[in-house]
Amino acid sequence: MQSRKQPVNESADLSVGIVVGSMSRSAGGLFDAVLNPAQNILTQSVDVRVYALRDQYSEADRLAWRPINPVLVNSHGPRAVGLAPYLHSKLRQGNHDVLHLHGIWLMISRAVAKWKRETRKPLIISPHGMLDPWALKNSAWKKKIVGHAFEYANLRGADCLHALNTSEAEAIRAFGLTNPIAIIPNGSNLPELIGDMRKRDGRHKMLFLGRIHPKKGLLELIRAWASFSQQAPGIFADWELVIAGWDDGGHLYDLEAEIKKLRISDSVRIHGPVFGAAKEELLRTVDAFILPSFSEGLPMTVLEAWSYKLPVFMTRECNLSTGFASGAAIEISTNPGEMAKAIADTIGGGQLNRLGAAGRRLVEEKYMWTQIAAQHADTYKWLRGRSGKPEHVVLD
Please report, for the domain that includes residue 299, its CATH number: 3.40.50.2000
Q: Are residue 270 and residue 225 in the same domain, yes or no?
A: yes
Q: Are residue 178 and residue 252 in the same domain, yes or no?
A: no
Residue 345 lies in a domain: yes
pLDDT of residue 3: 41
| CB-CB contact of 2 with 93 (8 Å) | no
Residue 377 lies in a domain: yes
CA 68 – CA 64 distance, rounded (Å): 9
Q: For residue 343, what are the CA distances in angstroms to 256, 267, 332, 358?
A: 22, 15, 8, 18
Residue 174 domain boundaries: 14-187+369-394
Q: Are residue 83 and residue 109 in the same domain, yes or no?
A: yes
pLDDT of residue 66: 94
Q: What percent of the chain has pLDDT over 90?
A: 84
Least confident of 105-114, 198-207, 351-360: 198-207
Q: Are residue 256 and residue 373 in the same domain, yes or no?
A: no
Residue 136 lies in a domain: yes
Q: Are residue 235 and residue 151 in the same domain, yes or no?
A: no
Residue 137 lies in a domain: yes
DSSP label at residue 317:
G
Residue 393 has pLDDT above 60, yes or no: yes
Q: Are residue 50 and residue 182 in the same domain, yes or no?
A: yes
Q: Are residue 137 and residue 234 in the same domain, yes or no?
A: no
Question: What average pLDDT score do residues 8-14 get?
Answer: 72
pLDDT of residue 1: 37
Q: Are residue 293 and residue 383 in the same domain, yes or no?
A: no
What would you measure as the largest C-alpha separation in the chain, in angstroms? 66
Residue 170 lies in a domain: yes
Q: Are residue 54 and residue 115 in the same domain, yes or no?
A: yes
SS3 label, residue 181: strand
Number of domains making up the chain: 2
Q: For residue 117, what are the CA distances in angstroms to 15, 121, 125, 306, 343?
A: 18, 8, 15, 42, 52
Residue 6 has pLDDT above 90, yes or no: no
CA 109 – CA 64 distance, rounded (Å): 25
Q: Are residue 374 and residue 336 in the same domain, yes or no?
A: no
Find, among 43, 50, 41, the residue nearest to 22 by Cα. Answer: 50
Q: Are residue 149 and residue 289 in the same domain, yes or no?
A: no
Residue 390 has pLDDT above 80, yes or no: yes
Name the amino acid, one letter, at 148. Answer: H
Residue 195 lies in a domain: no
* The dihedral sign for the CA sequence 187, 190, 195, 197: negative
Q: Are residue 343 and residue 221 in the same domain, yes or no?
A: yes
Residue 179 lies in a domain: yes
Residue 362 lies in a domain: yes
Question: What's the mean pLDDT when you consider all of the chain?
Answer: 92
Higher pLDDT pick, 74 / 81: 74
Between β-strands 181-183 and 393-394, what pairing exists: parallel, antiparallel or unpaired? Answer: antiparallel
